[in-house]
Amino acid sequence: MSCVRRKVSAIGDADTLSGLTAVDLAQLEKTIRSTIAAQVNPDPSSFPERLPHEDFVRWIARMPRIHPVEVFTTNYDILIETALEAERVPAFDGFVGCNRPFFCHDSLTRPESSPGSAWTRLWKIHGSINWSLDIVRGRQRVVRTAPHNEGEMILPSHHKYDESRKQPYSALLERLTRVLERDDAILFVCGYSFSDDHINAIIFDALEAKKRPHVVALQYQDPEPNTVLADRAGRFLNLMVLGPRVGHIGGRPGEWKLEEARHTNQIADAFLLDDVKEHDAPKGAGTMLLGDFSRFAAFLGALTGPV
């Protein structure tokens, strides 16, 4: 996408680039956008009988809390929305209205303009397949619609940072900043690889500014030694990075080892012991599984008891 957008920016109306005219490149960009949207907008009939998101939502619904649970996601799909409705959990996403709900900035900044703490917040900081740009009385705004193969989304490209500074994205990122400013804030991260500088800046700045907020980063793969995440994990004591084989806790890395396993079935969704005979591994060594969202959701679901 970055390559195509650079060509669109560079080419003149009468020029060709790589054999493509400005119209051809614009159509190519549109096709890429539509293809991405189609991939994250599957037919609901193809869904499994139960989505892992439902375990996650069920945990949200059953946990006592003072503040509302706030879910920030970079995903464009509507799987969390589907799970929230399946579990009948009230949720608020910053859109207001009954016919074509529109994004309302005040609902993120003024407590009296948003529902109470029983309502889960869902903030889609890179947009969604069920958002659209609308023009009402000459003014542009983002509205929520039925899912479609266009969507209003920040796509992977060199424009991502600039696009994130526009509404509603800037308001949603500001909300993340406000949440992390709380002294009792704790942010669990799952499925995010820390590859977006504009999001990283918010998280790491918050951890550096105060010692009370904490971030627990559940990673599907162990971070490489020279990555920004590994570097920050060594510098910030309030950042825990939990990879499958290595955890960074208190600024120090270490391999996972289960010291005592009386009831391994109780942690089956969280930890998989190595087969000592097959791998010649030390006793208690294994793989932490919570960087896989489906495992993380199942683990949370187990905490709340049977359905």
Gap between the Cα atoms of 105 and 176, Å rounded:
14
Gap between the Cα atoms of 168 and 108, Å rounded:
10
Give the lowest-confidence range in 4-8, 227-231, 265-269.
Answer: 4-8
Q: How many CA atoms lie within 13 A of 210 on its CB side?
A: 17
Candidate ranges 30-39, 105-114, 120-129, 136-145; pick with highest mean pLDDT = 120-129
- Residue 95's pLDDT band, with cuts at 50, 70 and 90, is very high
Q: What pTM did the predictor assign?
A: 0.85
Residue type at 271 in one-letter notation: F
Mean pLDDT of 219-236: 94
- On average, the pLDDT of the chain sits at 85
Percent of the chain with pLDDT strictly greater than 70: 83
Q: Does the pLDDT value for residue 17 go beyond 50? A: yes
- Residue 207's pLDDT band, with cuts at 50, 70 and 90, is very high
Which pLDDT belongs to residue 110?
85
Mean pLDDT of 288-295: 96
Which pLDDT belongs to residue 161?
47
Mean pLDDT of 249-257: 93
Domain ranges in the chain? 2-39, 44-303
Mean pLDDT of 88-116: 90
Long-range contacts from 137-141, C-beta under 8 angstroms, 24+ separation: 141/102, 141/103
Mean pLDDT of 194-217: 94
Give the lowest-confidence range in 18-22, 79-83, 92-96, 113-117.
Answer: 18-22
